[in-house]
Amino acid sequence: MKVFPDKLPEALSRSLPPVVIVAGEEPLLHQEACDAVRAAARARGVEEREVLHVEQGFQWSQLLEASASLSLFASAKLIELRLGGAKLGQEGAKALKAYAEGLEGSDNILLLSMGKLDFREQKSAWFKALDKLGLFVPVWPVDHQRLGFWLRDRAARHGLSLDMEAARLLGERTEGNLLAADQELQKLALLTPPGARLDAAAIAGGVEESARYDIFTLSDACLRGERERASRILAGLRGEGIEATLVLWVLTRELRTLLSLYQHLDQGQSFEHACKAQKPPIFDKRRPAYQQALNRLPTKRLHKLLLFAQRLDLAIKGASPVPLWDGLHDLALTLAGGRGPLAESPYAYKVG
């Protein structure tokens, strides 16, 4: 059964299932979900714990051995199987399915900690066998549009009160790095009286820039028409040493996707069908962003941007005088809805 991280403690308070799968790549929420399972196990008298790290050379027979072996002083144990970013492979999938089939009569708890699970993996035999017996906790990053509200609620845990402007600024400075956001809130809680209400000035003076971005965050901002955020993300990517080739690749990919969507729509297909026809398909969560971009960008402008992207590709190869990062900035902002020369931008470069 699927349970999201904010509802997990409540679900565990009702019953502790024999299997909990925590899957995702947001470190803070992932860690807290696993901590909640450990706490629930201790509360029910499960004191013994065995941790198995799936690394190169890992023998999957260790999982079944761990399940079968108990100390003289315990009737159950918590088995933590930590995959991190490792892949199961056929052997791992068979071992997990066998584990699920052999659970009858066992009081053990399996905490399976792993990276993101895609839809294909959620349809696999091993996943269905374990999910039927327990809980599946998908851990997703907090969407930036909800981040301010999340931080405001999070601050209350630390005895703080943030107004929305303060929460928004904290979100800008820590986007993509919830661990840093929580650490900043802990620090502010130590430096201010209990129950203090913090405004944007307090955040500006007391919180360092620690946002972490990736190229897909940039593409989302561009599709949604968030020009200021796209500019901030691009500057962050450049500062972190991300290759210009990757930035150009993701922006060009979105241009080609938008043109493909237009092609399907011109053939009389519905927007939903056009999204499903893409490779990979555009799932429901991302469709509104593409719809916004289509409403904002005509095909003529997209073709013009694609030609400019080709000039930037030549610049990467040293065959064009176009200022590379200035050009990438202009490409991103124009994709996000800018028109004409972006004179107010420090990276201004007119799309020809």
pLDDT score, position 197: 86
Q: Percent of the chain beyond pLDDT 70?
A: 94
Q: How sure is the predictor about 344, in pLDDT bands with cuts at 50, 70 and 90?
A: very low
**Where in the chain are the domains?**
5-139, 156-206, 215-335
pLDDT score, position 285: 83
Q: Please determine, for residue 48, whether its predicted confidence score (pLDDT) is greater than 90.
A: no
Closest CA to 229 of 298, 129, 314, 144: 144
* In contact, 135 and 17? CB cutoff 8 Å: yes
* In contact, 264 and 277? CB cutoff 8 Å: yes
Mean pLDDT within 313-341: 86
pLDDT 10s digits, 197-251: 888 888 887 776 677 788 988 999 999 999 999 999 999 999 889 999 999 999 9
CATH for 5-139 (3.40.50.261, 3.40.50.720, 3.40.50.300, 3.30.365.10): 3.40.50.300
pLDDT score, position 72: 57
pLDDT score, position 342: 36
* In contact, 18 and 133? CB cutoff 8 Å: yes
Q: Please determine, for residue 347, whether its predicted confidence score (pLDDT) is greater than 70.
A: no
pLDDT score, position 74: 66
The Cα 276–Cα 261 span in angstroms is 10
Highest-scoring range by mean pLDDT, 8-22, 196-210, 330-344: 8-22
Q: How sure is the predictor about 23, in pLDDT bands with cuts at 50, 70 and 90?
A: very high
The Cα 213–Cα 286 span in angstroms is 18
Going by DSSP bridges, is the β-strand pair 161-162/48-53 parallel, antiparallel, or unpaired? unpaired
Q: How sure is the predictor about 327, in pLDDT bands with cuts at 50, 70 and 90?
A: very high
Q: Could you list the beta-strand ranges (E) of the chain.
A: 19-24, 48-53, 77-84, 109-114, 135-139, 161-162, 197-198
Q: Please determine, for residue 341, whether its predicted confidence score (pLDDT) is greater than 70.
A: no
**Residue environment code for 61-99, b if the CB has 16+ CB neighbours within 10 A, otherwise e:** eebeebbeeeeeeeebbbbbbbbeeeebeeebbebbbeb
pLDDT 10s digits, 250-288: 999 999 999 999 999 999 999 999 999 998 888 888 899
pLDDT score, position 126: 92
Q: How sure is the predictor about 71, in pLDDT bands with cuts at 50, 70 and 90?
A: low
Mean pLDDT within 84-105: 86
pLDDT score, position 221: 92
* In contact, 315 and 248? CB cutoff 8 Å: no
The Cα 119–Cα 121 span in angstroms is 5
pLDDT 10s digits, 117-131: 888 888 999 999 999
Order of strands across the sheet that contains 135-139: 48-53, 77-84, 109-114, 19-24, 135-139
pLDDT score, position 78: 92
pLDDT score, position 351: 46
pLDDT score, position 275: 93
Q: How sure is the predictor about 350, in pLDDT bands with cuts at 50, 70 and 90?
A: very low
pTM of this prediction?
0.70
Cα→Cα distances 154→121, 150, 227, Å = 32, 6, 27
Quickly name the fold that domain 215-335 has.
Zinc Finger, Delta Prime; domain 3 (1.20.272)
Q: Please determine, for residue 28, whether its predicted confidence score (pLDDT) is greater than 90.
A: yes
Mean pLDDT within 162-178: 87
3-state DSSP assignment of residue 346: coil
Q: How sure is the predictor about 8, in pLDDT bands with cuts at 50, 70 and 90?
A: very high
